[in-house]
Amino acid sequence: MTGPGEAIRTVIVDDHELLRNGTRGILEGATGFTVVGEAADAEGACEVVDATVPDLVIADIRLPTANGIDLAARLVDDHPGLVVVILSAYDDEHYVRAAMAAGVSGYLLKTLPGDELVRALRDACSGAGLLAGGPLGRGEKDPVHGHTAPDGRLTAREDEVVRLVARGMSNKAIAQRLGISARTVEGHLNHVFDKLGVASRTELVHVALADRFVTGDGSPPSS
């Protein structure tokens, strides 16, 4: 925890540059914060934290190569005293419980007004007002959370999305084809990325073709 009058040295972790810039702008416009680094993924975050030794890390829950909860657990273990706060779009009890179990000091939602975000971050760094019971702010439910197969295999819908990705279809086109929203498609893909250990659509297509998810015309392989 920082002492009175000391600026809170902060690292922002989000794979969307626009959101990183927005969070940086809020903190730079507030008293008592200095942003010492940014990262777009978990690996970059660990490198930046090692190099800058911040007081606070603000991490998105969805990152390209590892989720923010796993990153939080690693950072808390490797850097005793470091405050890690999740800043997420998802108001999801499963994520909140997992985040708290990982040792984060708060689970905040991206819809929070800037002044409330600053206040919550200050509370987390001072050891006051930690969010043990639920997220602060209002967000959306993860449209696919809780529907993955318990043994780690792809669900039928995830498999369907992978087949269409392998055919070169965009998220919007897949959404129209399946009658779901583009955000739901993105949610399915995030789960697939986690399950298959891939970080991009290109890698996913390679894995899908190698594992015979699809044949050349995009149809399921015959058994």
- What are 162-205's pLDDT values in tens digits? 888 887 788 888 999 999 988 888 888 888 888 877 777 777 77
Per the prediction, the chain carries an average pLDDT of 80
At 64-121, the pLDDT tens digits run: 877 888 899 899 989 999 999 999 888 877 678 778 878 899 899 988 899 999 999 9
> What are the residues facing 86 on neighbouring strands?
59, 107
This prediction's pTM: 0.60
What SS3 class is residue 98?
A: helix
For residues 55 and 149, state if they share a domain. Answer: no
150 pLDDT above the threshold of 90: no
Domain span at residue 20?
Answer: 8-126
Q: What is the pLDDT of residue 57?
A: 98
161 pLDDT above the threshold of 80: yes
The residues, any chain, with a CB within 8 Å of residue 180's CB and separated by 6 or more, are none
For residues 189 and 87, state if they share a domain. Answer: no
* Range with lowest mean pLDDT among 2-16, 39-53, 209-223: 209-223
Q: What is the pLDDT of residue 211?
A: 56
For residues 192 and 222, state if they share a domain. Answer: yes
What SS3 class is residue 113?
A: coil
Q: How many structural domains comprise the chain?
A: 2
For residues 73 and 39, state if they share a domain. Answer: yes
For residues 122 and 147, state if they share a domain. Answer: no
Interatomic CA distance for residues 192 and 81, integer angstroms: 33
For residues 13 and 120, state if they share a domain. Answer: yes
What letter would DSSP give residue 57?
E
For residues 119 and 154, state if they share a domain. Answer: no
